[in-house]
Amino acid sequence: NRQEGLPIKTFYERYSFVLNASYKITDWLTSSSNFNYNRANWKNMPGSQTSEGNYFGRIMSTPPTVRFQDEDGNPVLGPNSGDGNQNYQPDKWWNFNQSDKFTMVQAFQIDILKNLSVKGTANWYYSESLAESFTRDYENTPGQFVRTRSSSASFSRDFSQTYNVVLNYNQTFAKDHNVAVMLGMEYFDRYSRSFKASGSGAPTDDFADLSLTDNGEGKRSIDSGHSDYRILSYFGRLNYDYKGRYLLSAVFRQDGYSSLLGDNRWGFFPGVSAGWIFGQENFVKDALPFLSFGKLRASYGVNGNATGIGAYDLQGSYNSQKYNGNVGFLIGALPNPGLKWEKTRTAEVGLDMSFFENRLNANFTYYNRLTSDKYANLSLPSTTGFSSIKNNNGKFRNSGVEIELSGKIIQAKDWSWDLGGNISFNKNKIVSLPDNGLIRNQQDASQIYSGKQLSDGTYEKIWVGGNQEGYEPGVLIAYKADGLYRSWDEIPGNLIVTSGNYNGKKMYGPEAWKKLSSAEQKNALPIQPGDVKWRDINGDGMIDTYDQVVVGNTNPHWIGGFNTTLRWKNFQLYGRFDFAFDYWIYDNTTPWFLGCMQGTYNTTKEVFNTWSEENPNAKYPRFVYADQLMNANYYRTSTLFAYKGNYLAIREISLSYSLPKAWANKAYCQKVDVSITGQNLGYITSAKNVASPEVSSAGSGYALPRTLLFGLNVTF
């Protein structure tokens, strides 16, 4: 299986082999085996690109006037290697990536008694990855070459083994009482080893070996990594039902994780559930003859998570450092030996019903999840010398309602129509955070004016955004844009804008600007026609960080989807859609193209809707070079580029046709189906300027590909 990548010369190819076998050795012993092997080879993006966002952003910003060929048809560089012709010298960046993965599973089941069995399973997983790269001399700008000839190589190896034993017992007592018991234990062990090295200064483009790179100081680097952890688990389940109508279940799991320390190493995670299939009750059948199935259910359980813990979070990490010519070690990350299991307690109640001989089905669920000791990186003051530390960060509540509906709308001789869908409402809330002495123990919050004037004439300030007890995470705050200054007469003379600019320069209205000395004006900027009219929340004639507003939340509150299948004779039309609404998305791409870029880039057609003397009624502020160094009309986060993220996605439309059986039989086939399918066909959305409204912040990385598939399915 080989797929060509969107960037030139990139690809991903995979080879796989799967073997499954099952055989009964004796009447009481059964064996099952599985072997899976995968090899993958791939080539990354050109070495001139630093990221997906960089690559695809450069594609959009290529000037329409650029020439990638000379008069004789020979390829040329273009503006430079980063923004020019990616097909000019792709062979200058060589890389090779390969991985091999082996999985083997062997299981034996012993039937001790009729209702009693024990099953043992062993799972072995082995993975190796190799990555090599070499940069030959390449032309950076016309006539200028980069001759670092850097080379790198890395190798990693992972091995994991899992062993479990599970005992199952099933029995019926007194005809109507059914019991099922499961007990088991599991051992998991994984180790990882890695090695990487890099160098530069190879003598020619012909040798990529690291041994041939320059061995001078600072020209080479070498590193290795080691990681090991184990998990030991005990688990069990007890199911009971009476006449298949009244259901009870209890489960437990106890896990010990080697990366955690002391009393925090073990976690106990129980759960219980109950159900009542009331649709089988005679009084319900008599009262509701149209009800085919009805079930009430409720459950409560605790789940544990430790995947958020890194290899060095509990013990810290160290980096080599030179001091006065001597090599020593410097702490690279702070350890937190007190980390413990993240636990989620979930309470759930639901109602499942079917009507009219199961032609209409409905499921309703209410859930309430409380996550305690959630893993997060806690920001630290810069005086500590560290940016953050991993910790257990309080309690977070997640609650909501889920509704699923499906039905056979039409069932006729030649026609049928099935329709199904789901919708859910979800709300997040921060219940508690570690005590830090701040209001609501807030983390990374911002202070703004509330808009409420106090008795002393000042305006109330409130904390918003970040994480705060009692509030919802994911809040988007921004400067409120009230249009543009169309002319000099609209600009308040003494207005001062103190925030938003990258280099800290203040911006002044016409009268305030005149009051500055020549020296002061060199470190300031004048407010001009075409600049954004920022809302002054407290009316003090100054725009600062407090003059921001809460725009909304970037997490969708409503999500769902629906699918439909329409059949007529041998034709079938299928559609699948999903949607989300009640959330906000921020567009980072448009402001970058209209003001924050630097270089010989193209821009978007929105540039025709930017302010100028000839176009004073434009939607966007004046088009400038490097706006982040000027008045920050585009650079600062503002309501100009915040949109409601509501969308309906057309995920899949498929039309298929089944050949008549008589035609298929003539070709010695039982069945022949042909189809055409379109995937990721588009969106109906209020966020018009973003490619994928599913994300809370739109950039320019890989977008979902729009795919057209033709299918032929033959059954012999």
Q: Each residue of 435-464: pLDDT tens digit?
A: 888 999 999 999 999 989 999 989 999 999
The answer to whether the CB of 574 falls within 8 A of the CB of 563 is: yes
Nearest residue to 44 (alpha-carbon basis) of 35, 55, 33 = 55
pTM (predicted TM-score) = 0.85
Average pLDDT of the residues of the chain: 91
498 vs 242: CA distance, rounded Å: 72
* pLDDT on residue 46: 63
* Residue 698 pLDDT exceeds 60: no
Q: In the numeric block, which tokens belong to residue 584?
A: 């906000």
Mean local confidence (pLDDT), 110-131: 96
Q: In the numeric block, which tokens belong to residue 435?
A: 């005590």
Contacts 24+ apart (CB under 8 A), 332-335: 333/386, 333/389, 334/380, 334/384, 334/386, 334/389
Kindly report the number of other CB atoms within 10 A of residue 648's CB atom: 17
Residues 202/204/206/208 CA torsion (nearest 10 deg): 10
Q: Could you tell me which residue, 421 or 148, shows the higher pLDDT? A: 421
* pLDDT on residue 93: 83
Going from N- to C-terminal start, the domains of the chain cover 441-471+475-553+587-635, 558-583+645-715
368 vs 95: CA distance, rounded Å: 49
Mean local confidence (pLDDT), 352-368: 97
Confidence of residue 51 (pLDDT cuts 50, 70, 90): low
Mean local confidence (pLDDT), 491-496: 96
Going by DSSP bridges, is the β-strand pair 524-526/506-508 parallel, antiparallel, or unpaired? parallel
278 vs 293: CA distance, rounded Å: 8
End-to-end CA distance of the chain, in Å? Answer: 24
Kindly report the number of other CB atoms within 10 A of residue 69's CB atom: 12
Nearest residue to 303 (alpha-carbon basis) of 348, 263, 335 = 348
Contacts 24+ apart (CB under 8 A), 284-293: 290/355, 290/356, 291/353, 291/354, 291/355, 292/354, 292/355, 292/356, 292/357, 292/358, 293/352, 293/353, 293/354, 293/358
Q: Which helix (H) or strand (E) holds 282?
A: helix 282-287
238 vs 178: CA distance, rounded Å: 11
614 vs 477: CA distance, rounded Å: 33
Q: In the numeric block, which tokens belong to residue 479?
A: 């400067």
SS3 label, residue 701: coil
Predicted confidence (pLDDT) per residue in 206-265, tens digit: 888 999 999 888 889 999 988 899 999 999 999 999 999 999 999 999 999 999 999 999
Mean local confidence (pLDDT), 589-599: 80
Mean local confidence (pLDDT), 34-60: 77
Predicted confidence (pLDDT) per residue in 146-192, tens digit: 889 999 999 999 999 999 999 999 999 999 999 999 999 999 999 99
Percent of the chain with pLDDT over 90: 66
